[in-house]
Amino acid sequence: MGCAQGKQTAGVEMCEGIDSYVTPEEKELLRSSWNIVSQDISGVGMNIFKKLFDIEADLVKLFKRIQTKGETGQVVVDSIRLEGHATGVLRQIGLVVENMDNNSALTTTLIALGEVHANYRVRPEMLPLLWPAIRDALKIACEDEFTQQMELAWKHLYDFVTCHLSEGMVIAHLKGKRDSFVLSYESSSLLLSPQQESQNSSSQNQLQNSNSQNQSLME
Segment 72-83, tens digit of pLDDT: 767 677 788 888
Nearest CA to 92 out of 157, 23, 169 is that of 157
3-state DSSP of 68-135: EECCCCCEEECHHHHHHHHHHHHHHHHHHHHCCCCHHHHHHHHHHHHHHHHHCCCCHHHHHHHHHHHH
The span from the CA of 97 to the CA of 94, in Å, is 5
The span from the CA of 71 to the CA of 136, in Å, is 32
Mean pLDDT of 60-77: 71
Q: For residue 211, give the amino acid letter.
A: N
The span from the CA of 161 to the CA of 101, in Å, is 14
Mean pLDDT over each residue of the chain, to the nearest integer: 78
Q: How many CB atoms lie within 10 A of CB 218?
A: 16
Q: How many CB atoms lie within 10 A of CB 39?
A: 10
Mean pLDDT of 86-92: 91
Mean pLDDT of 17-45: 97
Mean pLDDT of 184-190: 37
pLDDT digits (tens, 9 = 90+) for 118-138: 876 778 888 898 999 999 999
The span from the CA of 41 to the CA of 87, in Å, is 6
> What is the CATH code of the structural domain delimited by 24-217?
1.10.490.10
- Domains of the chain, residue spans: 24-217
pTM, rounded to two decimals: 0.75
